[in-house]
Amino acid sequence: MNLFTPKECAANYAAAGRAKTQIPILKLFLLAGLAGFFIAMGGAVTNTAAHSISNVGVARMVCGLLFPFGLAMVVLTGAELFTGNTLIAISVLDGQATVAGMLRNWAVVYLGNAAGAILAAAGCTFGGQLNHSGGQLAVFTMKLAAGKCALPVGSAVILGIFCNVLVTTGVLLSLSAKDLTGRVAGAYLPVAFFVICGFEHCIANLFYIPAGLFAKTVPAYAALAAGAGLDLSALSWGNFLLRNLLPVTVGNILGGTAVGGLYWYCHGRRDA
């Protein structure tokens, strides 16, 4: 077959997760920065494609078609993505990695992802990429970011759980394939689902919300937002960190480790 069985995939990931916990810190950070940039590009292309589409359903479908290629680039280049790396729980449960090694990986990768995504947000904002449609892309970016900052904390956690159940499923499906087409298709569909449904991904939000926050500081963009009657009162760094990023990250961890634990228990656990 052109696929690994679920049992083989669980064994492969257990070994891969062990290797992830042993990557030198500088290399790990750089690979994470690359992943953060790729995910940010997924966010940039979806905002650009959808900002002038008034029909919400059509806009979400367009975003769902485009964003998943960000995860495909992460998987195929060997970059390190925090949400996918919650699957290192498989390696820990299999006895091939330690909790300390997993947490080390998560911390370094999270910081690297944040650096790559936020730098991309700054580049898009201050480099003029948000000027499309006479600056309406900037208005759309601020509106999206403000909406994310206004999410109730409980909703952010739940939407984060659902998101990373799908993202980690996409990672496992991608790693089940033995060829390029299968790996891309495996990553593509679950991620398209989460984007279309509007679930919350902490690394993607490290692009979406800082881009809105940076745009808010540009006088021309702020004037356009005011002219459109856009309420940006919720769009602040405090709301970003406490009302979105923290609860979404918690939800992503819960969703990803749940998938990892379930996958290991059903396919990787060695019965007596």
φ/ψ (deg, to 5) at 67: -60, -40
Instruction: Report the alpha-carbon angle 145-148-150, nearest 5.
Output: 110
Q: What is the pLDDT of residue 269?
A: 79
φ/ψ (deg, to 5) at 177: -90, 155
Where does residue 10 fall: left (phi above 0), alpha (psi -120 to 50 degrees), or beta otherwise? alpha
Q: Which amino acid is located at 240 in the chain?
A: F
DSSP output for 215-252: HHTSHHHHHHHHHTT---TT-SHHHIIIIIIHHHHHHH
* Residue 246 burial (C-beta neighbours within 10 Å; 0-12, 13-18, 19+): middle
Q: Per residue of the chain (272 residues), what is the pLDDT tens digit? A: 788 999 999 999 999 999 999 999 999 999 999 999 999 999 999 999 999 999 999 999 999 999 999 999 999 999 999 999 999 999 999 999 999 999 999 999 999 999 999 999 999 999 999 999 999 999 999 999 999 999 999 999 999 999 999 999 999 999 999 998 899 999 999 999 999 999 999 999 999 999 999 999 999 999 999 999 999 999 999 999 999 999 999 999 999 999 999 999 999 877 64
Q: Is the dihedral of CA 109, 115, 121, 127 positive or negative?
A: negative
Q: Which amino acid is located at 51 in the chain?
A: H
Taking the CB of residue 180, how many other CB atoms lie within 10 A of it? 10
Q: What is the pLDDT of residue 271?
A: 61
Contact 182, 2 (CB under 8 A): yes
The alpha carbons of the chain give a radius of gyration, in whole angstroms, of 19
* Residue 229 burial (C-beta neighbours within 10 Å; 0-12, 13-18, 19+): exposed
How far is it between the farthest Cα atoms of the chain?
Answer: 68
Contact 256, 83 (CB under 8 A): yes
Describe the crossing of helices 132-149 and 202-216 by its angle, rounded to 10 degrees. 120
Contact 157, 249 (CB under 8 A): no
Where does residue 180 fall: left (phi above 0), alpha (psi -120 to 50 degrees), or beta otherwise? alpha
Contacts of 109 (CB under 8 A, 6+ apart): 28, 29, 31, 32, 35, 80, 81, 82, 85
Q: What is the pLDDT of residue 272?
A: 44
State the Cα–Cα distance between residues 57 and 65, nearest whole angstrom.
12
Q: Taking the model in full, what pTM does it have?
A: 0.95
Q: What is the pLDDT of residue 270?
A: 74
State the Cα–Cα distance between residues 216 and 139, nearest whole angstrom.
9
